[in-house]
Amino acid sequence: MNEASTGFLLGFLALLIVLSAFFSSSETSMMSLNRYRLKHLSKEGHRAAKRSVKLLERPDRLLGTILVGNNIVNILAASLATLLAVRIWGDAGIAIATIALTIVILIFGEITPKTFAALRPERIAFPASMILIILQRALYPVVWLSNVISNVLLRLLGVDPADKGDDQLSTEELRTVVREAGLSITRSRQSMLLGILDLEKITVNDIMIPRNEAVGIDLEDEMSSILTQLHNCHHTRLPVYRGDINHITGIVHMRSIARLLSRDNLTRDALIGACREPYFIPESTPLHTQLFNFQKQKRRIAIVVDEYGDVIGLVTLEDILEEIVGEFTTDMMLLSPDVHPQKDGSYVIDAATSIRDINRQLQWTLPEDGPKTLNGLITEHLEHIPETSVCLSIGPYRMEILQTKDNMVKNVRIWTSLDKAHIQQA
């Protein structure tokens, strides 16, 4: 080596620095690969992805191969730089070589290649995987011995080298992945995926139609009134009850009585005979469970009861599907009968509207962890049934009660700003 020319030694030193950059970038890129994308590409038959998956199955061997190669290259580079420096500057070259090589390795062999590999892991890892597999076989004895010693030390520290950790995503982690998918998933698909994930957090009580808003057939009404109601009905299935929805007889499908209804031959007994036995569910049932139960029971509508067995509302399969895909309308704001935008920027809202619907329609953040309706939220906040024209603030929302009736708040005007103009106007 002492007899080699200076030009040859400089060229060899440059090659060693390139190899150092290769090992450094390979290490960072392999560890930075998206494991889920890698598995997908591997299943699609991508050769480089398959090689990378194989290497990552034993990260101890992969890191051992890279680090053994990197250390060999760096040690050779240090020896060669020292030899060149002594030849050029004499004994002072030792210090010069140490400082110069440290700077060169740090910039060209570590920081730059590792940064590039972290930003573009597939561009480095996939081509490098072929070389790393060859090196892993060539350096197997050294790597094996190094791993044995390393694994013994890890066990002494209480770490099991065979434990690869849990790569499975929790629901919250998966929700974060969907939100950060960016342009790879459209907004509508993101919303649907998040809706599916939210089914386990939402209960039937959150989306049910309250009993006072439920449309049904009262068998104690006059038959002429029942026929008129059925002719004008826009629903496919209706609960049938006697006097009160707690005394429910069953669920009638409009298709079952369509022929009799069209011929005006429908009788009270025929209506009762066409009813299917009601399907009752508790109010605390999570939506993902209820979706499965609808499928299992071959049902599309259920009667919701509280802990005392009293009917408090009803829920349909369509209600659950809307939690996933959104409202079956083109513009929820224009078609909502409960939310009325005003010229001054405020909204007049029916207080029986659920807080979840208001938040979804207006992109608000009214608290949802307590009462389900706007009326309930206001009465809980005031701790009494308010009179008309009472004003209150809940978070950033200023509210003015416009109408109360039957011990309930009926209509409320809401602003999302607390500026003086709105306060004076209220």
* Axis crossing angle, helix 121-138 with helix 47-56, rounded to the nearest 10: 60
Higher-confidence position of 161 and 229: 229
Residue 171 has pLDDT above 50, yes or no: yes
Query: Quick one: which of 45, 229, 18 has its CA closest to 105?
Result: 18
Residue recorded with tokens 């030390």: 153
**CB within 8 Å of 99: residues ≥ 6 apart:** none
pLDDT at 221: 94
Query: Quick one: which of 233, 220, 240, 241 has its CA closest to 261?
Result: 233
The domain limits of the chain are 6-157, 169-201, 204-325, 339-416
CATH 3.10.580.10 fits 204-325, yes or no: yes
pTM: 0.62
Query: Alpha-carbon distance 104 to 17, whole Å?
Result: 8
Strand order through the sheet with 280-282:
209-210, 311-316, 301-305, 280-282
| pLDDT per residue as tens digits for the range 257-270 | 999 998 888 999 99
pLDDT at 417: 65
Q: Are 397 and 415 in contact (CB under 8 A)?
A: yes
Query: Alpha-carbon distance 65 to 135, whole Å?
Result: 7
CATH, domain range 339-416:
3.30.465.10
Q: Are 213 and 329 in contact (CB under 8 A)?
A: no
| pLDDT per residue as tens digits for the range 116-167 | 999 999 999 999 999 999 998 898 888 888 888 888 888 888 887 766 655 6
pLDDT at 374: 93
Q: Are 388 and 351 in contact (CB under 8 A)?
A: no
